[in-house]
A and B are shown apart, each in its own frame.
Chain A
Amino acid sequence: NAGVTQTPKFQVLKTGQSMTLQCAQDMNHEYMSWYRQDPGMGLRLIHYSVGAGITDQGEVPNGYNVSRSTTEDFPLRLLSAAPSQTSVYFCASSSTGALSWEQYFGPGTRLTVT
């Protein structure tokens, strides 16, 4: 099993550009989520999904969109990149979400917006 994979590993964007961060898992997990990690602030939840076709907002959803058309994939879209979105982004999955929060994390995408 590959676990949780994320692409790309690094990305530089100019202000106003859009892009999609890819996330996939091969563990048949229902719950998937996106976090951003900024210095001194731990990880903050952006969006999450409890299953295919169901998504909801986390703590910091503004400027981001998600969709969940399959169990395996959970892409994160930046609509119009801003310097405040410079961060490290992590995708995670877990088998039952609210019942057990043993989450599996991807290696992260380091995004810089200039």
Chain B
Amino acid sequence: SQELEQSPQSLIVQEGKNLTINCTSSKTLYGLYWYKQKYGEGLIFLMMLQKGGEEKSHEKITAKLDEKKQQSSLHITASQPSHAGIYLCGAPKANKFYFGSGTKLNVKP
């Protein structure tokens, strides 16, 4: 299996603060995906990273992939209540897809 460890498990931040979520793989990554899940709903695709050193941004969310460390980070700038939810990293291996355990984010207004 592709084991993915996320940290922290949960996070509470004040609105407007920056935050970072990490995802570390026990095996070589051939692509790393970030998804967001609003509480009680299905997952929504955020970003895909495939090359070492790649960095992508969408609105105030930036994700980076460091293949040497088998790690990815998700950074949110100036957090808003709309950023609240569960963030999950995921990676494929063969025809299967594996998720990390998720990071619960709450943003206090």
| A complexed with B | yes
User: Within the complex, what minimum Cβ distance (angstroms) separates B43 from chain A?
Assistant: 4
Shortest 5 CB-CB contacts between residues of A and residues of B: A105-B42, A42-B99, A42-B101, A43-B99, A105-B43
11 contacts between A and B (CB under 8 A): A4-B42, A40-B9, A43-B43, A43-B88, A59-B96, A98-B92, A101-B31, A102-B33, A105-B42, A108-B40, A108-B41
Given the complex, which residues of A lie within 8 Å of B33, measured CB to CB?
101-102
What number of residue pairs across chains A and B have CB atoms under 8 A from each other? 61
User: Within the complex, what minimum Cβ distance (angstroms) separates A48 from chain B?
Assistant: 7
Q: Interface residues, chain A, CB within 8 Å of chain B?
A: 4, 31, 33, 35, 40-45, 48, 50, 56, 58-59, 90, 92, 97-98, 100-108
Q: Is the beta-carbon distance between A45 and B97 smaller than 8 angstroms? A: yes
Q: State in angstroms the CA–CA spacing of A104 and B41 once bound together.
A: 12
